[in-house]
Amino acid sequence: MSRYLPLLSGIAIGVLLAVACHTDYKKRIIPNAIPIFILAAGFFTSGSLLMKFVNLAAMVLIIVVAEKALHQHSGGGDIKLYLALSFALGLLSLGIVLMETILIYAIYHALTEKGKLKGCRFPVACFVFPSYCIYFLTSTILL
């Protein structure tokens, strides 16, 4: 059973991101319970507990520096989602998910021509969810 825990926690994270996607799209809010449950699922993903906390601390630093340097602010739910994912996935995997998120958003923007790419507000979870699905499926298939 213990060898299936990382797989099951990865699926649980995907389901939680689907719920976050739905609520972020409908209400433009990510409920506090979703990052908390993703953080809890992170205890069962692969990796040492020490590195999970190091990744979390590093992500806090990255967010603070990025927001100060860019003078742009993400929503509180988005930041909590990033922090929970950094704990559950690690910084490298989260970096892959975020790069895929940017790519999916750019494709969406190019196809719909809605909003503007710089400084616009959009439901982040709606783009993080498919990015995570791509990451999870490819990493599961390749392992």
State the average pLDDT over residues 10-28. 95
pLDDT for 3 equals 80
Q: Report the alpha-carbon distance of residue 99 to residue 50 in Å, rounded.
A: 25
Angstrom distance (rounded) from CA 112 to CA 56: 35
Residue 126 pLDDT > 80, yes or no? yes
Mean pLDDT of the chain: 89
